[in-house]
């Protein structure tokens, strides 16, 4: 009889453990979804939209609750995608850089509103670059460069284009001539050039490189062992290939110079650690995240990129679309949402966190088709109906 009671007790304990490990996923509106059901829905979307590879991470109670990979790391070789593989992070790089800048501001090492010119020993247009074509000598005759500040760089209000070989409308300009399109601080216009400019000014001012800053302040403390702004030999056998819309393999591009605007290599597992850290800080009213997420510029463009970025709308007024230091900001009934996307040839990513609700989502994909299911994934996974999907150009594949 005693053995029977012992058996029943042990069985009950295992049943309780199993139930606790299979909690439903909590969503913003208070509803829940079973993990198995979510996985099936995601797989169906991946198949329907021809997404080569996708990882989905969901955060509940400020910690990772769900993380799975779908599809392939390389379609040609049929290698299954894993969440510990190296992805090109694209503009997720800017979110990490924004966090580093916020720390430096908090420590008094950077003043967000002090002109970049005041940090340099030579005029900004004469600042040397390792690759000469990246310098800013072409704006020497435009005195507006003298008022550009770190805040403007991080909030995308410098007046500089996204990249010098692209016009504001997104058209290719082969001469790659850098110029200031509008008075700095007056409009929002996404600019990788502005982020890279601040990086170089900071590196010279602090006499330390971005990779060292990132390792010391983010990657090492958070045990993000497979993350770096420059290529590492240990990444060689674990990276994923990007894929075009028609599933063609894109060969890996190796970056040997750290770029705050978009050179970071990371894994979904590593980047989830970063988001968990930031979400926890924000929920505890950290001074770092208060600096990081301070609204800087109201955004009223129809789209973030392309010709419609020059047209105005009130469509996003209800969500108070704004920008902090390298992160987008929106309002929701569940508190502020803080988001950052990543987009490059063969790689499409999106992350959003709602610290007050303790809920967030990270999407990382090695496919040019992935953004076509982001809207439905966000609504399905966490009931995020607030991300400005049209502004982001996340047009559903079946629309």
Residues paired with residue 46 on neighbouring β-strands, in sequence order: none
> d(Cα 279, Cα 285) in Å, to the nearest integer?
10
Can you give the pLDDT of all 399 residues of the chain as single tens digits? 455 444 444 444 444 444 334 579 999 999 999 999 999 999 999 999 999 999 999 999 999 999 999 999 999 999 999 999 999 999 999 999 999 999 999 999 999 999 999 999 999 999 998 888 899 999 999 999 999 999 999 999 999 999 999 888 888 888 888 999 999 999 999 999 999 999 999 999 999 999 999 999 999 999 999 999 999 999 999 999 999 999 999 999 888 899 999 999 999 999 999 999 999 999 999 999 999 999 999 999 999 999 999 999 999 999 999 999 999 999 999 999 999 999 999 999 999 999 999 999 999 999 999 999 999 999 999 999 999 999 999 999 998
Q: Is the Cβ–Cβ distance between 318 and 332 less than 8 Å?
A: no
**Per-residue CA distances from 361 to 71, 204, 275, 357 (Å):** 19, 35, 9, 12
Locus of tokens 């990513």:
349
CATH class (in words) of the domain with range 25-382:
alpha beta
> d(Cα 133, Cα 49) in Å, to the nearest integer?
39
> d(Cα 278, Cα 99) in Å, to the nearest integer?
8
> d(Cα 121, Cα 125) in Å, to the nearest integer?
11
- Residue-range domain boundaries for the chain: 25-382
> d(Cα 16, Cα 75) in Å, to the nearest integer?
40
DSSP string, 24-65: PEE-TTS-EE-HHHHHHHHHHHHHHTT-SEEEEEEEETTEEE
Handedness of CA 132, 134, 139, 143 (dihedral sign): negative
The token duo for 397 is 């594949």
pTM of the model: 0.93
> d(Cα 169, Cα 305) in Å, to the nearest integer?
7
> d(Cα 221, Cα 329) in Å, to the nearest integer?
26
**Per-residue CA distances from 297 to 94, 154, 158 (Å):** 17, 11, 12
């Amino acid at each position: 009889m005693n053995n029977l009671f012992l058996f029943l007790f042990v069985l009950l304990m295992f049943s309780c453990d199993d139930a606790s490990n299979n909690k439903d996923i909590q969503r913003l509106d208070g509803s829940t979804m079973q993990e198995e059901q979510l996985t099936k829905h995601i797989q169906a979307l991946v198949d329907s939209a021809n997404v080569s590879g996708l990882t989905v991470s969901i955060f509940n109670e400020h910690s990772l609750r769900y993380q799975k990979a779908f599809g392939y790391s390389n379609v040609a070789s049929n290698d299954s995608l894993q969440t510990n593989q190296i992805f090109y992070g694209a503009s997720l790089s800017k979110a990490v850089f924004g966090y580093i800048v916020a720390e430096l501001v908090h420590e008094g090492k950077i003043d967000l509103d002090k002109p970049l010119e005041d940090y340099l020993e030579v005029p900004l247009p004469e600042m040397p670059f390792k690759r000469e074509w990246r310098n800013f000598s072409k704006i020497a005759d435009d005195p507006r460069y003298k008022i550009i500040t770190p805040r403007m760089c991080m909030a995308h209000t410098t007046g500089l284009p996204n990249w010098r070989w692209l016009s504001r409308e997104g058209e290719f300009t082969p001469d790659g001539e850098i110029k200031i399109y509008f008075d700095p601080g007056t409009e929002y216009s996404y600019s990788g050039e502005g982020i890279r400019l601040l990086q170089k000014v900071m590196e010279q001012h602090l006499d330390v490189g971005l990779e060292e800053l990132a390792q010391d302040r983010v990657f090492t403390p958070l045990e993000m062992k497979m993350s770096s702004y420059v290529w590492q030999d240990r990444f060689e056998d674990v990276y994923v290939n990007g894929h075009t819309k028609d599933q063609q393999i894109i060969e890996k591009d190796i970056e040997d110079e750290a770029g705050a605007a978009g050179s970071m290599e990371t894994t979904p597992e590593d980047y989830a650690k970063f988001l968990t850290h930031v979400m926890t800080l924000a929920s505890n009213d950290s001074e770092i995240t208060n600096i990081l997420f301070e609204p800087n510029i109201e955004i009223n463009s129809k789209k973030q990129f392309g010709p419609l970025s020059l047209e105005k709308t009130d469509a996003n007024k209800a969500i108070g679309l704004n920008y902090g230091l390298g992160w987008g900001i929106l309002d929701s009934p569940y508190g502020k949402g803080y988001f950052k996307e990543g987009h490059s040839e063969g790689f499409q990513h999106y992350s959003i966190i709602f610290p007050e609700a303790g809920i967030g989502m990270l999407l990382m994909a090695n496919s040019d088709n992935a953004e076509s299911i982001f809207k439905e994934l966000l609504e399905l996974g966490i009931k995020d109906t607030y991300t400005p999907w049209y502004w982001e150009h996340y047009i559903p594949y079946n629309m």
